[in-house]
Structure 1
Amino acid sequence: MTSFDPYDHALHTDPWPIYQQLRDKAPLYRNDELDFWALSRHADVAAAFRDTDLFSSSHGPTLEQWSPNAHKYASFVAMDPPRHTQMRALVSAGFTPRRVREMEPTIRELAAAHLDTALAGGPTFDFIDFASKVPIDVISTMIGVPPADRPQLRTWSEQVIARGVGDTGIPQTMRQANNALAGYYTDLVITRRANPTDDLTSALIAAEVDGARLQVHDIVPVLMLLGIAGNETTTKLLGNAWCAAWRNPKQRDAAWNGNITGWVEETLRYNSPGQMAARLLTADINLHDLTVPAGSRMLLLIGSANRDPRVFAHPDRFDIGRDTTAAIPFIVGPHFCLGASLARMEARIILEELVRRLTPEFHIDMAAATRAHNPNVYGFATLPTTVTLR
C-alpha cells in the first residue's frame, strides 16, 4: 500500500484515498522512518481518545513538537489527569453554555460588519480572509486583546501552523511566531496583573490550583493555545463548509433552504479541520494482531475515523441531512475540545449571515485557491470567491 506520511503536501489536499487504504489494509499502521504508529478506524480512534491512562497526552498532540515538556507551549492539551482536569476547569469558566449563548449577538454583529467590509471591494474576495476575522475577534475579546493588535496575532497564528515542503520538524518561521506570541501574551499578563479587567486573562491570574496562584509560565501557554486554536479551527471549518457547498449544488440548495446546522455538522465530519492527534503509549498493547510497545508514538487519525464506512453510510458523500452523532471532529473523552460549542455557534452564525445576504450562485476559483499545509490541520489558506447579492 501507499506510504502514509503526514508531512506530505499532497496528503493535505486529498488524504481520503490513503485513509481508506489504512482502514482496509493497515488499521494499525507502522512508519519506521518517522517512528510512529497510526490508528485509522473509528472504533480504535474513539477508544484511544477515551483511554487517557494508556494513550497519554504528556508529550503533546503533534509529532513535530513531541517532547515531555510539551505543556510549556500546549498547556493542558499536553497534560493528563489530574493536572489536565485542574487546568481545564479554570479555562472552562470562560466557555460555559451561558457565556457562549450570551456572545451570539456580538458574533452576529461582527459577522455582518466583516461581510460588509468584504463586499465593499466588489463581488470577489478571499473567503478565508473574511472568515478568519470573526473568530480572531471573538477569542481576542475573551482573552482581552485590543482590536489594534488582532491582525498581527492572526498573522503569527497562521505562521505557527504553516509548513513548507519537506518540513518534518519545527520551521524557523514557526519558532519566530511562537516566540512573538509568547512575548505578546507575557506582556498582556503583566499588564492585567497591574490592571485587571473582566476578561479570561484576568480570571486566570486570579485563579488558584492546589492553593497556589498560576504563574506567568502557566498562563501564557493557555493564552497561546486559545489564541491559535480559537482562530484556526473555526476558520478552517468555514472554508471547508464553503467549498463543500460549492462542490455539491444539491446540498448547497438544502443549506440555503435553512439547514445551516446540518451544513456545519456534516462539514465537521466530512472535512474535519483537526485531522489527527498524537499520543504516547504508556504500556504494551496488542492491536490488530500486532504488539505496540510502551513508549511508542501513536497517531489517532480523526479525519479517517469520520469517514469510516463501518459507522457512516457512503462516507465520501457530502450529505447535510445525515446523522452525524457518531462523528468525533472535536475528539471524545477528557480532551474533548473546550471551544467546540463556540466554534459551532460562530460557524452557524457566519453561514447564516452569508445565506441571508447572498444567493447560492457563488463561484470559487479553485485554480487560485491555496491549502494550509500542516499535518494536524485541514483547510484552506486562501479561497477566492465571487458572489451575487440577493
Structure 2
Amino acid sequence: MYSQLREKSPVYRNDNDDFWALSRHADVVAALKDSDRFSSKNGLRIEPAFWGPDAEKFFSFVAMDPPKHTRMRGLVSRAFTRKRVQELQPRLREIARDCLRPALDGGSFDLMTDFAARFPTDVVSELVGVPEADRDKVRELGMAIMYRDEAGGDEGGGDLPPEALQAIGALVGYYTDLTIERARKREDDLLSGLLDAAEGDDRLTPEEIVGVLILLVGAGIETTMLLLGNAWHAAWRHPDERAKAFAGRVDDWIEETLRWDPPSQALARTTTEPVGLHGVTIPADARVLLLVGSANHDPDVFDDPSRYDLDRDTGESLAFGNGRHHCLGANLGRLEARIALTELTTAIADYDIDMDRARRVRSSNDRGFASLPTQVTPR
C-alpha cells in the first residue's frame, strides 16, 4: 500500500476518517521541518482520545508549537541529559538480566510479555526515581495503557479502551503524589532534575512535570517494547542478518529495524494555512499524517528498501522524527534496545518463533507485537 501511495497518490485524502497523508520521504522531511505550516498543537495521533487542543496532556511539549515548545523542551533537556542516560548503563544491564533470567528458565518464553514489556517499564521507573515498592503498580498501569492486542476486538484500534483511560488517570495521580514528595526531598533521579531545571526564574510547574512523565510511558516504554519485538521478528525472518546481529552488530540491527519496521508508522500534524503539493491543495486546519513507515521505504532514498539489510546506510531514516521535534529520548531508546538485545544474544545462541501463536498490537498508528512465543537454544 505504501508504494502505491508514493507512486500514485503522494498527497492522499481519506474522507472517511478526515485526514490527508504524505508518503514520500522528501515530503515527510519537509513537513517535519516546517512547523510554521504543519503544527503539532493538536497532537501526534488522530485517535479521538489523543487528538485536539488538550493533546499536550498526553504528549507534553511534543504537542506544542513555539514559543511553548521551545520553553518546555529547553527546560526538560536540562534534566534529560545524555550524561544522565549514560550513567544508567550499569543499572540497565542489571535490570535486563533480572527480567531475562526467569524468562529463560524453561527454554521457551514470550519475548513481549516476559521481557520486552517489562524491561523498558522498569528502566523508566529507574530513570524517574519510582521507589522499588511501587514499581509493580507502575508496571501494571503502564501495561494497561499500552497493551492492546488483536484478540481484544476493535481491530482498527481507533481509540483507547476505558481501562486504559482509567490507568492514565491513576498514573497521573501517582506521579502527582511522587512529584509532591520529591519536591520536599530530592534524589538523584530525573524527577528531581525536572524540579530543579530552570531558565532564569522560569521553572516547570508540577502539572508540566507530570505531563513529561506521562509522555515517557509512550515515548520511553511503548516504543522500546515494540522496537525489541520488531527486531526479534525481523532477525528471525532473515537468518543471514540474524547471524550478523548475533555476531555483535547490535547497533546495526537496531538501526535497520527502525528503518524497515518502525514502531511508530505515522506522525500527525495540523496545517495552519493552505499547502500546495504535487498539484493538490491541502486546506488550512486539516489533519495530515506524515507516513514515516512509507518514507523509510522510499526507493528514491533507500536502495531496494524492502530488503532487510544490516549493511545498509540508515542515515536518512525518520524513525525518530526530524527537525524541531526530533525525539529528545532517542539516546535512551537506543541505549535500552542495545542493552536488551545484547543481553538476549549473550544468553541465547539461536531461537525460533511460533508465528501461529504470535499476536500483533491493535493500533492505527503503532506497528509491532503483543506476543512472540519463542523457543530458544541457550549458549
Q: Normalized against structure 2, the TM-score is what?
A: 0.93
Matches within 5 A, 1:1-390: 18-64=1-47, 65-120=50-105, 122-128=106-112, 129-162=114-147, 164-208=154-198, 211-360=201-350, 362-390=351-379
Question: Which secondary structure does the structure 2 equivalent of 1:69 belong to?
Answer: coil
Quick one: distance in 1 between partners of 2:299 and 2:79? 37
Structure 2 unaligned spans of 5+: 149-153
Task: Kindly provide the amino acid, as one letter, of the partner of residue 92 in structure 2.
Answer: I
Quick one: distance in 1 between partners of 2:215 and 2:79? 14
Quick one: distance in 1 between partners of 2:193 and 2:29? 33
Alpha-carbon spacing, 1:48–1:76, altered in 2? closer, same or farther (3 Å): same
Contact 1:161 1:374 in 2 (8 A): no
Partner of 1:10: none
Alpha-carbon spacing, 1:162–1:123, altered in 2? closer, same or farther (3 Å): closer
Contact 1:60 1:77 in 2 (8 A): yes
Contact 1:72 1:217 in 2 (8 A): no
Aligned length: 371
Question: Which secondary structure does the structure 1 equivalent of 2:349 belong to?
Answer: coil
Task: Kindly provide the amino acid, as one letter, of the partner of residue 285 in structure 1.
Answer: V
Partner of 2:151: none
Contact 1:161 1:373 in 2 (8 A): no
Quick one: distance in 2 between partners of 1:98 and 1:216? 24
**CA shift for structure 1 position 167:** 4.7
What do residues 256-283 of structure 1 show as CA deviations (whole Å, max 9, x unaligned)? 2221111111000001011111101001
Quick one: distance in 2 between partners of 1:338 and 1:332? 11
Q: Normalized against structure 1, the TM-score is what?
A: 0.91
**CA shift for structure 1 position 309:** 1.1
What do residues 148-190 of structure 1 show as CA deviations (whole Å, max 9, x unaligned)? 3333323333333455335534432232122111111111112
Contact 1:365 1:384 in 2 (8 A): yes
Quick one: distance in 2 between partners of 1:167 and 1:385? 26
Task: Kindly provide the amino acid, as one letter, of the partner of residue 108 in structure 1.
Answer: R
Quick one: distance in 2 between partners of 1:170 and 1:210? 39
Report the more deviating stretch, 150-159 or 40-49: 150-159
Task: Kindly provide the amino acid, as one letter, of the partner of residue 303 in structure 2.
Answer: A
Task: Kindly provide the amino acid, as one letter, of the partner of residue 370 in structure 1.
Answer: R
Contact 1:246 1:363 in 2 (8 A): yes
Contact 1:266 1:320 in 2 (8 A): yes
Contact 2:156 2:362 in 1 (8 A): no
Quick one: distance in 1 between partners of 2:377 and 2:289? 43
Alpha-carbon spacing, 1:166–1:352, altered in 2? closer, same or farther (3 Å): closer
State the Cα RMSD in Å.
1.7
Question: Which secondary structure does the structure 1 equivalent of 2:327 belong to?
Answer: coil
Quick one: distance in 2 between partners of 1:104 and 1:284? 47
**CA shift for structure 1 position 209:** 5.7
Task: Kindly provide the amino acid, as one letter, of the partner of residue 378 in structure 2.
Answer: L
Contact 1:262 1:320 in 2 (8 A): yes
Contact 2:158 2:364 in 1 (8 A): no
Task: Kindly provide the amino acid, as one letter, of the partner of residue 110 in structure 2.
Answer: D
Structure 1 unaligned spans of 5+: 1-17
Quick one: distance in 1 between partners of 2:156 and 2:346? 43
**CA shift for structure 1 position 284:** 0.7
Alpha-carbon spacing, 1:211–1:94, altered in 2? closer, same or farther (3 Å): closer
Quick one: distance in 1 between partners of 2:214 and 2:155? 25
Question: Which secondary structure does the structure 2 equivalent of 1:385 belong to?
Answer: strand
